[in-house]
Structure 1
Amino acid sequence: MTMIGRNWAAAIGLMLMTAACGESDTDEARAATPIKRTPLPQNEFVPVKIEATIDKLVAEINKSSVQTMQIAVLLKSLNDFFAPIATGANRAMGELGVSGRVTGNVLGSTNASADQEQLMKLQTEQIKQVVDEGAEGIAITPFGEGNAAAIDEAIAKGIPVVALDTELARSKRAFYIGILSESAGATAGNTLLEMLPAGRTGTVLIHGWADPSWADGVKRTQGARDVLEEAGYDVLVHQSIYDDEARDIEVMKGEIEDADPPVVGLMGMFSDSYRCVLAADAVDAPELPVVAFDFAPQTADYMRQGRIKATHVQRQYYEGYLGPYIVYGIKSIGLDATKKILAPQLVGDQFDLGVDVVPSGKVDAYINFLDEIGAEQ
């Protein structure tokens, strides 16, 4: 088995060969085979406007004749944060496969101990491999600019590529699907703003990102900062010390103690947001409101205790689900027609999924929603 074979696994067990349409089917019968979406449960967290856009895209695809397409969905991982992306992609590939339109697989690393550099190299090899094996479209969670060259090589061969979760603005990808970092940060800032003192004075500590090496982290942090400063608060950005929790909390403790005017609220911008609670405890200020981002188990636990007032969760399931449909739409109805349908959520060529704002009182209801759609994190 190759290096790729040892470190990558298919998230679906077999190729989605067009089971609904045998070789003896006529072209007319195949053209009449509709895509049937898997219905989602009625739930307050279902993004109604995004669902409407998907329905419209599927309806337009259903009007066109069946064109078969081999699609590869390449994910950084099949675990943790990326598991809901795999779920969504598998569901879309299955629906497109049963209708006789798509063959392909959802692939991702299962090596939890591999470092980012190793995984990036493996994914670059994977891009080249699926192209050699006949992929006609790719949806990918890329490793930043590290494998943009391989992606552009695929695009130069006429293969449409859609980036999921991580933007590749300098590549020639057709669309990006995910959150817009600055907008998501602003949403979180507005959530905290509603919980702060009416006098509009004091300091807000943002557990965020200032290192320009990660542009999206900086933009998300800046989006929140802009909202809070415009409202009249002083803002202190704490650079997350991601790999050293004890040190991270120690530094935040000192920053809170030294803040002038005093800290009146805290917010975290990433999966380690829950550390804001530990920092508040370190200065014996459990009353400080805390708003978080993402949905780590610790975050959910503190929400149940009322210590984290709300969190903001990315819609990974929809990243995965939209990827194959958009790639196939480009082939089926064309890039311009696809872009026109996606327009309600598009900013340029970026599909803004937004975030789910989950208040502490609805944490278990949100977990139930994720369970119902198979997008547990």
Structure 2
Amino acid sequence: MTRIGRCWTAAFGLLLTTAACGSSDTTDAGTEVGRIVRAPTPQSEFTPLALEATVDRLIATINESTIEPMQMVVLLKNLDTFFEPIATGASRAMGELDVTGNVLGPTDQSSDDPTTSQDLQNQQIEQAVAGGADGIGISPYGDLNAAAVDDAVANGVHVVTLDTDVATSKRSLYVGALNTSAGATAANTLLAMLPPPPGTVLIHGTTGAEWGDGYARTRGAQEVIQAAGYAPVVSEAAFFADEAFDVDWMKGEIEAANPPVVGMVGLFNISYRCVMGADAAGIPDVPIVAFDFDPRTVDYMRQERIKATHTQRQYYEGYLVPYILYSIKTIGLDATREILAPLMDGDSRVNIGLDVVPWGKIDAYNDFLDEIGAGQ
């Protein structure tokens, strides 16, 4: 994981007041009446129509309200690779809302600094509250951030999590893909490519329940594969080990499988390693589906080695969070939940869904990402 740096205080003092894309009127009392106008979203087969319609409804309701200026911040684990589209979306939404705020990620930190990334993020939350933030969006490290989130809420600051969650905290809402259904979606994509059972499906996932999101995604895939009559076998994704170790582990699982492996599904951004594992085990033609849009995954898709991938709509994660924070401040949490109902799972999770990208649609998907400014 990339460590978050300490330079919050300086950054917070330089928060940008971005220009709105709409206009505003002033009431006799001096408060502003929001007149938010979104930049048009390019139309594509990948445009999430239900999500777009929900944002439009949110804006229409906010525009009927009398509001005060707002200060917010979005804290991410990183500002590049996977998180770059999140930062793009959040920054664009803040500009349309004309709020005082910024998106913050890592800064330089000395290698001998014993402070953990989680501790640094907790410091950022505390400093945001002290600096007068009305709302915080955060991609947290899990339960280790729960106390800091709860302290922010106790001080009257609404907190919305994205990408990862702290379900044990008092955060208002979570925004992102729901991992159990995401794993099930990936498994269903693969099932359409498989011969009839019996057969083993190798899942490049995790069996470690301590990482709740990864475990839930893996369980979602396992349940679908098993229900379809195949034997699911999980090869532990080795994020922090040498790539060769990960590939060799997959090779061993494939060679030991009985019945033989007839398909593979990777559930994380290192899914491209499934191709390497299949090659090492001598089954180069096995159907493989992947997760995320790592350049190496895309390269294998262009070779038709990976048949499809599943992306998490990071841009929309970032874009939706400032609007939700703004809505909570202006119309309240309950009214915000009511508008978000088409996307809600329960009363606290906003499911933005997944994009399923077949290997033959890479260029079309890249064009869509470029048009919304969310290319990786």
TM-score, reference length from structure 2: 0.92
Conserved 8 A contact 1:7-1:110: no
Who is 2:94 aligned against?
93
Q: Does the 8 Å CA contact 1:31/1:64 hold for their aligned counterparts?
A: no
Residue in structure 2 matched with residue 15 of structure 1 by the alignment: 17
Counterpart CA distance in 1 for 2:10 and 2:256 is 48
Kept after mapping to 2: 8 A contact 1:253/1:280: yes
In the alignment, which residue of structure 2 is the partner of 1:290? 288
CA distance 1:45–1:61, change in 2 (3 Å): same
Q: In structure 2, which of residues 308, 325, 328 is the aligned counterpart of residue 327 of structure 1?
A: 325
- Distance of aligned partners of 1:21 and 1:340 in 2 relative to their CA distance in 1, 3 Å threshold: closer
Any conservation in 2 of the 1:75–1:141 contact (CA below 8 Å)? yes
Name the residue aligned to 2:362.
Answer: 363
Amino acid at match of 2:6: I
Q: Which structure 1 segments of 5+ residues have no match?
A: none
Give a deviation string over 1:249-298, Cα, whole Å, max 9, x none: 11211211121101101110101111111111112221100000111110
Contact 2:34 2:65 in 1 (8 A): no
Q: Percent of aligned positions with the same letter in both sequences?
A: 56
1:15-69 per-position Cα deviation (integer Å, ceiling 9, x unaligned)? 33789889x9554896455101111111111100000000000000001113211
- Cα distance between partner residues in 2 of 1:20 and 1:27: 20
1:186–1:107 CA distance, 2 compared to 1 (3 A): same
Name the structure 1 match of 2:106. 109
Q: 1:201 aligns with which of 198, 202, 210?
A: 198
For 2:130 and 2:9, the matched residues in 1 are separated by 19
In structure 2, what is the equivalent of residue 259 of structure 1?
257
For residues 65-214 of structure 1, what are the structure 2 equivalents within 5 Å? 65-97=66-98, 102-111=99-108, 118-197=116-195, 199-214=196-211
Task: Indicate the larger mover: 153-162 or 238-247.
Answer: 238-247
Partner residue of 1:226? 223
**Change beyond 3 A, Cα 1:21–1:50:** closer
Per-residue deviation, 1:202: 0.6
Q: Name the residue aligned to 2:373.
A: 374
**Superposition deviation, residue 107 in structure 1:** 1.4
Deviates more, 1:142-151 or 1:213-222: 142-151
Distance 1:220 1:111, change over 3 A: farther
Residue 236 (str. 1) matches residue 233 (str. 2): yes
Q: Is contact 1:306–1:360 with CA below 8 Å preserved after alignment?
A: yes
CA shift, 1:358, in A, is 0.2
Cα offset, 1:229, TM superposition: 0.5
Describe how 1:272-283 pairs up with structure 2 within 5 A. Answer: 272-283=270-281
The residue correspondences of 1:18-29 to structure 2 (distance < 5 A) are 26-27=27-28
Equivalent residues of 1:311, 1:358 under 8 A apart: yes
What does the per-residue CA deviation read over 1:293-315, in whole Å, with 9 as the maximum and x for residues that have no partner?
11111000000000000000001
1:177-198 per-position Cα deviation (integer Å, ceiling 9, x unaligned): 011100000000100000000x
Residue in 1 aligned with 2:243?
Answer: 245
Answer whether contact 1:8 1:110 (CA < 8 A) is retained: no
Deviations 1:96-152 (A, max 9, x none): 00xxxx222221114499799632222211111111111111111112112211111
Q: Which runs of 5+ in 2 are unaligned?
A: none
SS in 2 for 1:4: coil
Letter of the 2:202 counterpart: L
**Cα displacement string for residues 201-239 of structure 1 (whole angstroms, at most 9, x for unaligned residues):** 110000110112201111101101111100000111111
The change in CA–CA distance for 1:233 and 1:8 in structure 2 (over 3 A counts) is: farther
Change (3 A) 1:130 1:249: same
Change (3 A) 1:58 1:126: same
Moved more, 104-113 or 62-71: 104-113
Which stretch shows the higher mean deviation, 242-251 or 115-124?
Answer: 115-124
Shift in CA distance, 283/113, structure 1 to aligned 2, threshold 3 Å? farther
TM-score, length basis structure 1: 0.92
**AA paired with 2:16?**
L
The root-mean-square deviation of aligned C-alpha atoms, in Å, is: 2.4
Say which is worse superposed, 74-83 or 337-346, in terms of deviation: 74-83
Change (3 A) 1:7 1:196: farther
Give the corresponding residue for 1:353.
352
- Give 1:210's aligned amino acid: T
Measured in 2, the distance between the counterparts of 1:20 and 1:369 equals: 24
In structure 1, what is the equivalent of residue 7 of structure 2? Answer: 5
CA distance in 2, matches of 1:196, 1:112: 48
Alignment deviations for residues 321-367 of structure 1 (CA, whole Å, 9 cap, x no partner): 11111011111111111000000110111001111000000112111
Shift of 1:172: 0.3
1:302 paired residue number: 300
